[in-house]
Amino acid sequence: MSLPLHQLACSSLQIPRSCNKSLVFPKFANKSGADPKRMLETRPRAASVGGSGAEYSEQLLGTERKRKTPSVAGVDQDELLDPVSLADPDSFFCEFKGVQIHHKICNEEEPMDYSFQNQTSSQLSNRILKIGFPIILLHGFGASVFSWNQVMKPLAQIAGTKVLAFDRPAFGLTSRVSSFEHRSSDGEDAVALNPYSMAFSALATLFFIDFLAAKKAILMGHSAGCLVAVDAYFEAPERVAALILVAPAILAPRVSRTVSRENQTTREDQIVDGSSISDVQENPFVRIVKTISKFFMYIVRATMQMMKTMMDMVSSLYQKALSAILRSAFAVMLVRTIMDKFGRLAVRNAFYDVNRATDHVLHGYTKPLRVKHWDKALLEYTLAMLTDSSSKSKSPLSKRLAEISCPVLIITGDYDRIVPSWNAKRLSQAIPGSCFEVIKNCGHLPHEERVEEFLSVVDRFLQRVFGAPEEQLLQATA
């Protein structure tokens, strides 16, 4: 007599090999219509029915792991693709220093499918500038050419010129390459620059000016892209016709008034304690003190030089340790976790009105997470920013802002939670002659959240800088 199934499972008895399994599992045999004996032989079994079943559970868990790969920010990571396979119909790729750079171009001849809120299309057509300089758009951290989709065509129509946007390395659909590929075995740089460095992006910007067969270009940067625009300007100021900085992620210096104190300067030939310096130098006691002080100065300089050498060694060790950490499997797991937890939240937080972060917008920002090695490239970019040696040889950017001589427009949103508007205002005060505009009820993305106001501000700036005199403009519109 056979026991019921639930009693058999709770007992410590093993199933006899001679047992009629069709009686023990009648429902199983009836539902499948298959041979119960054959099905039982192919099914994973534990050592005993009453045992822990560890072997069987482990097999099930192994199968589950193969089926499910963790997604990042809602993007499946099962099968990552090459950037070209993710390209849009209007995408282009070109090579610069071994990197396939994804970019898009809008021509002024293309029909504009967007109109200003306060201006008609006919009014705009009479105000086309034909400035003769292309506009190059530089996206911010974590963004891509997608962030410029709404303004590319209108800008081309307003300025009567070509507008080009490209993805910087580590972002968008630009190819991900290993920084090791750019170094030779003996430590010498096989290629001039790390592709993830700021200097590489600046040179790539100048490359696209040549690519468009132009002598100059207007550089429009957003957030961290403003750093690239300013770096490109200092690399070749003669190639930049104007700078438009949108929500600039550039730390502005404190503006302080310099007071001239010429009347308070002390000359070497002034009288000290009723005696001239020449008289003091003749005092033997003073000579001894000066000799001893010079000796100590030599010791101090030698000590400082030694400390500098030690600091260089520590810096080198720090860079090696940081490189090892950021190129580890733990760092890859960490960056995936951060992007999964905070990626979409950061996009929403960039808007004043979070409802504007629609599914379409979130998909556009997270699409590059389907590119092969996106995580490793993001870590390489972080490493390049933390260990950038080229900037150390230059004076701080905050001290060079006053040297910018081209026309500059700075745009910010009054509710920018990422780069506060007061920093943008302070930046405009540090750049001589710059224009400063605040867009109301706007966050960190004026060119996406307040498209009409953004285009109006840019249009006024371009008209003022490159437009015809007001009398000619009135005649043209009459």
| pLDDT surpassing 90 at residue 394 | no
| pLDDT surpassing 50 at residue 109 | yes
Between the CA of residue 416 and those of 1, 142, 426, 449, what are the distances in Å? 78, 17, 15, 11
260: its two tokens? 């001239």
Mean pLDDT of 394-413: 92
Contact (Cβ atoms closer than 8 angstroms) between residue 428 and residue 421: no
Q: Are residues 360 and 234 in the same domain?
A: yes
Q: Are residues 215 and 91 in the same domain?
A: yes
Q: Are residues 409 and 381 in the same domain?
A: yes
Q: Are residues 238 and 357 in the same domain?
A: yes
Which three-class secondary structure state does DSSP give residue 272? strand
Q: What percent of the chain has pLDDT over 90?
A: 51
Q: What is the pLDDT of residues 256-265, one digit of tens each?
A: 544 444 444 3
Q: Are residues 181 and 92 in the same domain?
A: yes
Q: Are residues 354 and 392 in the same domain?
A: yes
Q: What is the pLDDT of residues 206-217, one digit of tens each?
A: 999 999 999 999
CA distance 29 to 5: 14
Kindly state whether residue 54 falls inside one of the protein's structural domains: no
Q: Are residues 198 and 295 in the same domain?
A: no
Kindly state whether residue 244 falls inside one of the protein's structural domains: yes
Instruction: Kindly provide the b/e burial profile for residues 245-272, where b requires at least 16 CB atoms within 10 angstroms of the residue's own CB.
Output: bbbbbbebbeeeeeeeeeeeeeeeeeee
Q: Are residues 227 and 362 in the same domain?
A: yes
Instruction: Identify which has the larger pLDDT, 14 or 325.
Output: 325
Residue 83 exposed, middle or buried by CB count within 10 Å (0-12, 13-18, 19+): buried
Instruction: Give the structural domain span for 126.
Output: 86-255+339-477
pTM: 0.71
CATH of residue 111: 3.40.50.1820
Kindly state whether residue 379 falls inside one of the protein's structural domains: yes
CA distance 219 to 164: 10
Residues 6+ apart with CB under 8 A from 77: 69, 70, 71, 336, 369
Kindly state whether residue 18 falls inside one of the protein's structural domains: no
Kindly state whether residue 32 falls inside one of the protein's structural domains: no
Domain count, the chain: 2
User: At what angle are helices 329-349 and 374-386 packed, to 10 degrees?
Assistant: 90
Kindly state whether residue 435 falls inside one of the protein's structural domains: yes
Q: Are residues 104 and 184 in the same domain?
A: yes
CA distance 60 to 54: 10
Amino acid in the structure at residue 295:
F
How many CA atoms lie less than 13 Å away from 457 in the CB half-sphere? 23
Q: Are residues 114 and 235 in the same domain?
A: yes
Q: Are residues 188 and 288 in the same domain?
A: no
Kindly state whether residue 28 falls inside one of the protein's structural domains: no
Mean pLDDT of 419-427: 95
Q: What is the pLDDT of residues 167-226, one digit of tens each?
A: 999 999 999 987 555 543 344 444 457 999 999 999 999 999 999 999 999 999 999 999
Residue 280 pLDDT grade (very low, low, confident, very high; cuts 50, 70, 90): very low
Q: Are residues 149 and 240 in the same domain?
A: yes
Domain stop point among 293, 324, 355:
324
Number of residues in the chain? 478
Kindly state whether residue 116 falls inside one of the protein's structural domains: yes
